Structure 1
Amino acid sequence: MMKKLSSNDPCPCGSGVKYKKCCARFHKGALAPDALSLMKSRYSAYAVGDARYIIRTTHPENPDYSEDRKAWREEILNFCRANDFLGLEILDFSSIDEKRATVEFVATLSGGVIREKSLFLMEDGEWLYHSALEINN
């Protein structure tokens, strides 16, 4: 059900800014300046079915990381096609230090709600999604 997005449509991340002025620039190669921007741009990438971006911004230590890019890409695209991405709410963003940060969020999808606290690591000047952490309520 991937959403075909015009560059003038509102960005899926919920910023209220046009896609072309928001997450599209990261999808086209600009580096996210912080973990929060990366989190939002990854959500938008799922919403528009940009598996290449998801793969490129995933840390090699992530449990879903795969050397079989073709199969991994297809897995991501299947997830994107199976869901409508209805909204993203950021609950918390904190920098642990200059190379580690966390973002806690709620993503509302047609297939259900995902609540996650994500760990992001800075590697070679680029923020990457590392893994989901336990959420202590």
Structure 2
Amino acid sequence: MKKLSPNAPCPCGSNQKYKKCCAIYHKGALPKNALLLMKSRYSAYAVGDSKYIIKTTHPNNPDYTDDTKSWKESINAFSKHTQFLGLDLLEFIDGEEEAFVIFKAKLSSGDMVEKSRFLKLGNRWVYESGVVKEM
């Protein structure tokens, strides 16, 4: 994991300290909606928390695999070689069991716009899939 001071601004762009924002989810608190989950996943990539990414990915997701060792290595490589420069939230469609977030992630490799689909499994939200939109 990348070192990020608990007092540093949270990568999700909330203007809160990391320790008061996404770190609480990375340590086990459940985000109450899909928007908070999406923001905490962006921050997890930014700090290289591959365990959180895996834990919050739906088994239907194309990246999901039981080979967590290689999956972790892939996430860690992406996080290590990418700078996470900002997050713009474009749309949030909330629902009881299904929700969508459209966001723009500003990355060192270029901006990416994605429409993410989240599903509720039991009492927790997970990332099911995403469609990257052309810019």
Q: Secondary structure at the match of 1:128?
A: strand
Pick closer, same or farther for the CA change 1:134–1:19 going to 2, 3 Å: closer
Q: Secondary structure at the match of 2:86?
A: strand
When normalised by structure 1's length, the TM-score is: 0.94
Contact preservation (8 Å) 2:113, 2:132: no
Aligned to 2:108: 110
Aligned to 1:50: 49
Q: What is the identity, as a one-letter code, of the residue corresponding to 1:46? A: Y
Deviation at 1:42, TM superposition (A): 0.1
Q: What is the identity, as a one-letter code, of the residue corresponding to 2:127? A: Y
Query: Structure 2: which 5+ runs fail to align?
Result: none
C-alpha separation in 2, matches of 1:135 and 1:51:
24
Q: What is the identity, as a one-letter code, of the residue corresponding to 1:65? A: Y
C-alpha separation in 1, matches of 2:134 and 2:106:
20
Aligned to 1:29: 28
Q: What is the identity, as a one-letter code, of the residue corresponding to 2:23? A: A
Q: What is the identity, as a one-letter code, of the residue corresponding to 1:108? A: K
Q: What is the identity, as a one-letter code, of the residue corresponding to 1:10? A: P
Task: Give the one of 84, 99, 117 matched to 1:119.
Answer: 117
C-alpha separation in 2, matches of 1:78 and 1:47:
12
What's the Cα RMSD here?
Answer: 1.6
C-alpha separation in 2, matches of 1:134 and 1:72:
20
Deviation at 1:112, TM superposition (A): 1.2
C-alpha separation in 2, matches of 1:133 and 1:27:
24
* Aligned-residue identity in percent: 58
Query: Structure 1: which 5+ runs fail to align?
Result: none
Deviation at 1:89, TM superposition (A): 0.3
User: How many correspondences in the alignment?
Assistant: 135
- Structure 1 runs of 4+ off > 4 angstroms? 134-137
Aligned to 1:93: 92
